[in-house]
Amino acid sequence: MSAPAKKLWGGRFSGATDPLMERFNESIHFDRRMHLADIRGSQTYAGALAAKGIITEDERKSLHDGLEKVLGEWEAGTFELRQGDEDIHTANERRLSELIGSVAGKLHTGRSRNDQVATDMRYWLREECERLDKFLTELLRVVVDRSEAEVDVLMPGYTHLQRAQPIRWSHLLLSHGWSLEADLQRLRSLVGRFNLLPLGSGALAGNPFQVDRQAMAKELGFAGVMPNSLYGVSDRDFVAEFLFWASLTMVHISRLAEDLITYSSEEFGFVQLADAYSTGSSLMPQKKNPDSLELLRGKSGRVFGSMSGFLMSYKGLPSTYNKDLQEDKEPMFDAADTLEGSLQITASVLATLTIRPERMRGALSTNMLATDLAEYLVRKGVPFRETHHIAGAAVKLSEDRGGVPLSDLSLSDLQGLHSSFASDVTSVFDYERSVENRSSEGGTSKATVLAQCKAMRAGLKQ
């Protein structure tokens, strides 16, 4: 191993750093993944310095080309870390100096690692959000495709995990889809809020060489610049907001996973997971466990933990940059990695899932049409509060007779509860009719479910 690299901040110090402190301080093992962002920011900053005459055009080109070589080494997997490469910025500048000589020392003119790291993180997260957008969009396409294809399948809807009213399987899928669609919109609005350039803020007080920050922002794909240099180097709200977005999205994935875990059990048997997303038991040969869904449910806690942990580090910091902010990257990276995997696994589980329509329909019972019975009387002019009581009495009567289906009660039985019951009451005991009656916007009728599919698909095309 060659001699340790000279520290970017070492001029004021004469004593050696404790090796334990060296390891405690370094972040290269996790922030190395921002190498592209760091290099693109440095190339752009070199151009800004050249535009102000701080370096020559030849020096700018040397810096640009040297950084491109450094990038090539990272992408080829041949970049060699050295002792003293405490972070991605130090490592890149050290290697640049080895490649092009002393001119590399001009790159940091007027720049601080404070505005550099803030720029790298925003650049990296913006690119990551584009990937997450694609994965989330694909998951929503799976939801819409299945909802359209399986719109005729009926199943029980539940409240309190008790059978409530008949619904369409597609209506249930879309209920999860709309939560995820809201997550997609939140992700896109999040990018719009944080896509501002900190570069040019210096350590905290700004840049003394009047570099054109707007031009740098445009070149790097930012919508504008951070309007205050203190704010520019200290703000990590975008990390907190991303972690909140990731936590909420994982909550929605977890809730979908919980429904599918429940419905895949033998007690329900509504769905069956593909073998590719299930495991067996080391003891019980008959078991088929929904491990993919359980992992998704479990990882929601991991992401939430990252958010709460970071907020505890962030909440009490004085202005501007403090080393505590080194704790911003690992939770951001981990949450991003977890979301990438989770979104893809969820889409694959849904795409390969087998539904069992006969089990879903077999779980329907005419007692679930008690509300429809009450609504029948409403259409006869009886106030709903009264019809609710009458329908409840009908359910009680069916239970008192040994749990016979509600539909087995005779007309005279029902007329004994209210004189408005007539022979057409038999039309109430039809599951398809029940779901088709829920035809107001957002309901579970076929037309309204397909309208949801159309609206969701139109949103995805945007």
CATH of the domain at 386: 1.10.40.30
Let me know: does 35 contact 81? Beta carbons within 8 Å.
Answer: no
How many Å apart are CA 107 and CA 90, to the nearest integer? 12
**78 in the same domain as 148:** no
Instruction: Say whether both 263 and 333 belong to one domain.
Output: yes
Same-domain status, 137 and 186: yes
- Asked, for residue 213, whether it belongs to a domain, the answer is no
pTM of the model: 0.92
172 and 269 both lie in a single domain:
yes
Same domain, 301 and 344: yes
For the stretch 285-338, pLDDT in tens is 777 899 999 999 999 999 999 999 999 999 999 999 999 999 999 999 999 999
User: What does pLDDT average to over the chain?
Assistant: 94
- pLDDT on residue 2: 45
Cis peptide before 137 (omega within 30 of 0): no
Within a 10 A sphere around the Cβ of 341, how many other Cβ atoms? 14
| Domain assignment present for 4 | no
- Structural domain contains residue 166: yes
Q: Residue 34: which of 98, 97, 87, 101 has the closest Cα?
A: 87
Listed residues 86, 109, 132: the one ending a domain: 109
As a whole number of angstroms, the distance between CA 414 and CA 42 comes to: 81
In a shared domain, residues 397 and 318? no
315 lies in the same domain as 412: no
For residue 1, pLDDT over 50 is answered with no
456 lies in some domain: no
Residue pLDDT, tens place only, 219-251 = 999 999 999 999 999 999 999 999 999 999 999
**Same domain (yes/no): 402, 340:** no
- pLDDT higher than 60, residue 14: no
HSE toward the beta carbon, residue 281, CA cutoff 13 A = 7
Based on the fold, state whether residues 101 and 24 are members of the same structural domain.
Answer: yes
What is the structure's pLDDT at 16?
Answer: 60
Nearest alpha carbon to residue 429 among 401, 402, 405, 404: 405
The pLDDT of 194-219, averaged and rounded, is: 98
Q: Which of 29, 189, 265, 281 is catalytic?
A: 281
Q: What CA–CA distance (Å, rounded) separates 340 from 343?
A: 6
- The reply to whether 85 and 145 lie within a common domain is no
- 183 and 300 fall within a common domain: yes
Domain with residue 22: its CATH number is 1.10.275.10
Q: Is a pLDDT exceeding 60 seen at residue 3?
A: no
Enter the tokens of residue 61: 């080109």
Query: Cα separation of 71 and 77, whole Å?
Result: 10
Please indicate, yes or no, if residue 126 is contained in any of the structural domains.
yes
Are 90 and 239 members of one domain? Answer: no
Identify the residue whose tokens are 């039309």.
427
Q: Which of 160, 282, 410, 440 is catalytic?
A: 160
pLDDT band at 163 (very low <50, low <70, confident <90, very high): very high
| Domain presence at residue 312 | yes
**pLDDT tops 80 at residue 341:** yes
* Domain of residue 139, CATH code: 1.20.200.10
- Hunting for tokens 């060659």 — which residue is that? 2
Give the chain's domain count.
3
Does the active-site annotation cover 281?
yes
Last residue of a domain, one of 332, 362, 392: 362
Ramachandran angles phi, psi of 99, nearest 5°: -85, -40
Kindly state the tokens that stand for 357: 């329509």
pLDDT of residue 62: 98
Longest dimension (CA), the chain: 101
Distance of CA 194 to the CA centre of its chain: 17
70: left (phi over 0), alpha (psi -120 to 50) or beta: alpha
What pLDDT shows up at residue 280? 75
Say if CB 198 and CB 217 are below 8 A apart.
no
**How far, CA to CA in Å, does 231 sit from each of 35, 109, 189, 197, 201?**
24, 21, 20, 11, 9
347 inside domain: yes
For residue 162, the 8-state DSSP code is: E
Domain that holds residue 251: 114-208+224-362
Which tokens sit at 45?
């900053």
